Structure 1
């Protein structure tokens, strides 16, 4: 990869978060700009929660063309935007901002990223039954993507049932049959439903640390199950899936495709997916 030559025409993009140094986005977004000959750089900006509004004003003042938003700013940033997409409205989180001469548009590309990644494992999944574990922002993105894709049955498991029920309530306008599509259960009832589900998705951070307890009894996983864990590593859940011979996937495809969608929102050009994938896989 050649060095980026910066001049007076170079456009600036980046990512804001706290912490943000671990982000993989600068490498694969910069590679994408270079692959298409776009004169742009992509930088990580570490922004403390108390400085978020100043940072957003800075985006406008410095004419930064586009920004990705990561934790802990995805929800809070919405109040500083001029316009939000349908995805942001339902998911309640924004991960991509486009700056049009100081007018900030907010998008959420996580739902798209999840669905495109899932298609790599199983292209036809609308008739499958899903178990989605967790009820945070990532879960909302996954459920939104599944509902928009026409999935008819989702079991939503969370430690706090009320939080999962809020998703059902908030998504009523999205699909009037939402209460028939989504069944909410507590985490400790997952094993009672494994026989009926085809695809299991972990949207929680459980599994990030090796000492984390299992979400359920992983020995109950069957070879026919398809397992997705949106954490960027081979968690114990994915190790169990591998041992059973299941199709499985970590969070990197979701990261790849959500980043590609952000690139397309900013540039209006088709993202060089394979270039981005190659960087991510290193």
Structure 2
């Protein structure tokens, strides 16, 4: 399909630094073109000391909205007029809608995370989850899981103080506790877990030989194993899980899903082809290898 931009083309994009590696333009433009919408999505490098100027510039240029990635997901909040409840509790914004001269902040990472289970028709209601890591990705994952009504969550991390802070922030939403992932008590939780999620960068390219310290051999046989990393496609964590017959999911679902949720907010539609976005992402990743 040929691309024809006009004087009426509406602009979208993603800001971050560095940003040259971003695949968001690939997945967003693929689905925008499939919907025959007159929009263009671009990646824009914005250094930390340029954030305020960039936000004012995007507003002045009448952008419809933009995504926010590292290192701006927290600092962007001070420049917005409103943020929704999810973004406020998670403590980060990855999507901004510009409407009626106001900037609205959202966090669609949790929606992206949940989209994988919707695709697999796997119910999260009342399950037991074990989350590895207590950083920004973990906060989005925890919010999403508690929002849909999981039975219990344990946050296992190297930094127990950080994990406990996460628990304290989310304890009003449901049954959640923290533990040291090196403690033997984690093994008992593993045996009862229906879902095991890695939210740490362990195993991400180029450090593909690393993984969190969990014993897959004692993980409940029915458990799904999810790694939010998408490069490589299968981390050591997921390869180890497959050895024991577990269903595995990678971060492609989360990235495509959060992009679809953002697009819905920008263009005001109910349905976006997430599968098309994920396929476009997967093909782009293969080309980069």
- TM-score of the superposed pair, with normalisation by structure 2: 0.91
Is the CA contact 2:209–2:236 (under 8 Å) kept in the aligned structure 1? no
Counterpart check, 1:201 vs 2:201? no
C-alpha distance in 2, partners of 1:16/1:263?
A: 15
Q: Would you say the 8 A contact 2:31–2:277 is kept in 1?
A: yes
Residue 30 of structure 1 aligns to a residue whose secondary structure is helix
Unpaired segments of 5 or more residues in structure 2?
A: 284-289
CA distance in 2, matches of 1:129, 1:221: 12
Residue of structure 2 in register with 1:263 after alignment: 263
* Contact 2:216 2:244 survives alignment (8 Å): no
Query: 2:191–2:218: 8 Å Cα contact kept in structure 1?
Result: no
Task: Extract unaligned runs of 5+ from structure 1.
Answer: none
1:254 aligns with 2:248: no
How well do the aligned residues superpose, as a CA RMSD in angstroms?
1.5
Q: State yes or no: 1:276 paired with 2:277.
A: yes
The aligned residue for residue 106 of structure 1 is: 105
1:92 aligns with 91
Residue 256 of structure 1 and its aligned partner are, at CA, apart by 1.2
Q: Would you say how many aligned residue pairs link Structure 1 and Structure 2? A: 276
| Per-residue CA distance 1:71-95 (angstroms, 9 max, x = gap) | 1111111111000011111100101
Partners of 2:209 and 2:111 in 1: how far apart? Answer: 31
CA distance in 1, matches of 2:209, 2:274: 34
Cα pair 2:17 2:47 within 8 Å, conserved: yes
1:30 aligns with 2:29: yes
Tell me the distance in 1 between the aligned counterparts of 2:222 and 2:216: 14
Indicate conservation of the 8 Å contact 2:97/2:104, yes or no.
Answer: yes
Q: What is the TM-score when the length of structure 1 is the normalising length?
A: 0.93
Looking at structure 2, the residues matched to 191 and 57 of structure 1 have their Cα atoms a distance apart, in angstroms, of: 50
Task: Report the CA distance between 1:43 and its aligned residue.
Answer: 0.2
3-state SS of paired residue (1:195): helix
Aligned-partner Cα distance in 2 for 1:276–1:211: 28
CA distance in 2, matches of 1:67, 1:126: 32
In 2: Cα distance, 1:22 partner to 1:75 partner: 20
Listed one character per residue, the Cα deviations across residues 130-158 of structure 1 (whole Å, up to 9, x for unaligned) are 00011111111111111110112101111
2:106 and 2:72 map into 1 onto residues whose CA distance is 13
- Counterpart CA distance in 2 for 1:262 and 1:18 is 20
Aligned to 1:127: 126
Cα distance in structure 2, aligned partners of 1:222 and 1:170: 28
Residues 141-150 or 207-216, more deviating:
207-216
Q: Kindly state the Cα deviation for residue 120 of structure 1 after the two structures are TM-superposed.
A: 2.9
